[in-house]
Amino acid sequence: MTTIRLTQTVQKGGCAAKIAALELRKILSKITFPPAHSELLVDGKYFDDAAIYKVSETKAMVQTLDFFTPIVDDPYTFGKIAACNAVSDVYAMGGRPVTAMAILAFPLANMDGDVISSVLQGASDLLAQAKCTFVGGHSIDDETLKFGLSVTGLVHPKQIWTNQGAQAGDVLILTKPLGTGTLSAALKRSFITEDDMRQALDGMGQPNNVVEVLNGDLLAHIHAATDITGFGLSGHSYQMAKASQKTFVFKADQLPLYPRAQEFIEKEILTKAHRTNREYTQAALDLGPLSKIMGTLIHDPQTSGGLLLSVSREVAGEMVEKLRTTFKHAAIVGEVISEGNKSLLYT
């Protein structure tokens, strides 16, 4: 197989390639959608992570899909991260993924077929780890490599998490560090190698299966959840705060960061999404005493980022302890208060 740097074949990589949130809202506002079935429990109204359709009194189906261009150079790692990012939406709803189908665009004319074999193997190995069956997919010949998954999961209808349930008095927990956007941009520009960002690569390839880690009574204390991806901590927490009609107060010094993320933010190794995420949230955001670096990092577009959980204060400490057995950088990053003039405050 000819060595090729996948990041050099695309303009944008990973979740940084998402359509800007403001532009997406504008596009969607012009569409008339068909009436929802009565069994549809969660749709796209609040920009939640997945749709949920009730199958029976004890079972509901979680549906989501995610795909993007390469965020790393190694094909196997790219496939693993893309798969992990896709199944994360199911975990963010409190469910477990059961089947996945590939979405693949591949440039047959100028890329060796072994590349896509490695991408698919990375995805397959991640799905095996998640106990999710790889059942097929669809592919096209295209100028740019794109890969992702359509994932179906299951959840009990009374155990669904959405981004609408945060309660005043809750504590906010983040399961993974921030910084994949600027680190990936640094990789693309050859300022670092994949070995230099190994911790971030390992984090992007770690499934957000907090249900399996926590199990038991603690799960009932999770009131709302979302996964932090292309719209950054700012965009996804804004959507969760707005959907819950609450204000989120973040402690900037408690936000976990990947090594060298601050360094590359300071050097302005940024993506377009840093700017569009800031534009999306600026009217709802009070940065308080935040430094310029941290004021940019909260907009950093994450790929396969962590879950943001809104949980009962009385169990937050115990929950973080259990989470750290798998997510060693999980941290309490803020709290939920009654809705104020701003959706997001930083102190």
Q: Model confidence over 270-291: pLDDT tens digits?
A: 999 999 999 999 999 999 999 9
Residue 343's pLDDT is what? Answer: 97
Helix (H, G, I), strand (E, B) or coil at 301: coil
- Whether 84 sits among the annotated catalytic residues: the reply is no
Average pLDDT over the chain, rounded to an integer:
95
Sequence-separated (6 or more) residues with CB below 8 Å from residue 347: 249, 250, 251, 252, 288, 289
What are residue 53's DSSP bridge partners? Answer: 40, 61
Residue 21's pLDDT is what? Answer: 87
Residue 1's pLDDT is what? Answer: 47
Please give the backbone phi and psi of residue 287, each rounded to the nearest 5 degrees, phi first: -75, -15
- How are beta strands 40-42 and 246-250 bridged, if at all? unpaired
CA distance 91 to 103: 20
Residue 314's pLDDT is what? Answer: 97
- Checking if the pLDDT of 2 tops 70, the result is no
In the numeric block, which tokens belong to residue 20? 């800007």
CA distance 125 to 159: 28
Please give the backbone phi and psi of residue 333, each rounded to the nearest 5 degrees, phi first: -120, 0
Any idea what DSSP says for residue 153?
Answer: E
- Checking if the pLDDT of 213 tops 60, the result is yes
The residues of the chain that CATH labels 3.30.1330.10 are: 6-155
Helix (H) or strand (E) holding 182: helix 180-188
Confidence band of 337 (pLDDT split at 50, 70, 90): very high
Residue with tokens 């992702």: 148
- Checking if the pLDDT of 3 tops 80, the result is no
Fold of 171-346: Phosphoribosyl-aminoimidazole Synthetase; Chain A, domain 2 (3.90.650)
Is 121 within 8 Å of 102 (Cβ atoms)?
Answer: no
CA dihedral defined by 166, 46, 185, 200, rounded to 10 degrees? 40
Please give the backbone phi and psi of residue 242, each rounded to the nearest 5 degrees, phi first: -65, -45
Helix ranges (DSSP H) in 2-97: 21-28, 75-92
Residue with tokens 């890329």: 111
Residue 148's pLDDT is what? Answer: 97
Per annotation, catalytic residue among 15, 145, 287, 319: 15
- The stretch 335-339 carries a mean pLDDT of 97
- The stretch 229-251 carries a mean pLDDT of 97
Is 325 within 8 Å of 214 (Cβ atoms)?
Answer: no
Residue 127's pLDDT is what? Answer: 98
pLDDT tens, residue by residue, 104-114: 999 998 898 89
Say yes or no: domain 6-155 is CATH 3.60.20.30: no
pLDDT tens, residue by residue, 189-206: 999 999 999 999 999 999
- Checking if the pLDDT of 166 tops 80, the result is yes
Torsional sign, CA 194, 197, 198, 200? negative
State if pTM tops 0.75: yes
- The stretch 233-250 carries a mean pLDDT of 97
Residue 309's pLDDT is what? Answer: 98
Helix (H, G, I), strand (E, B) or coil at 136: strand
Residue 25's pLDDT is what? Answer: 86
Looking at the chain, the whole-number percentage of residues with pLDDT higher than 70 is 99
Is 155 within 8 Å of 93 (Cβ atoms)?
Answer: yes
- The stretch 164-176 carries a mean pLDDT of 98
Cα–chain-centroid distance for residue 17?
A: 13
- Checking if the pLDDT of 221 tops 70, the result is yes
Is 144 within 8 Å of 105 (Cβ atoms)?
Answer: yes
The residues of the chain that CATH labels 3.90.650.10 are: 171-346
pLDDT tens, residue by residue, 44-100: 888 899 999 999 999 999 999 999 999 999 999 999 999 999 999 999 999 999 999
- The stretch 299-306 carries a mean pLDDT of 97
Number of Cβ atoms within 10 Å of the Cβ of 319: 23
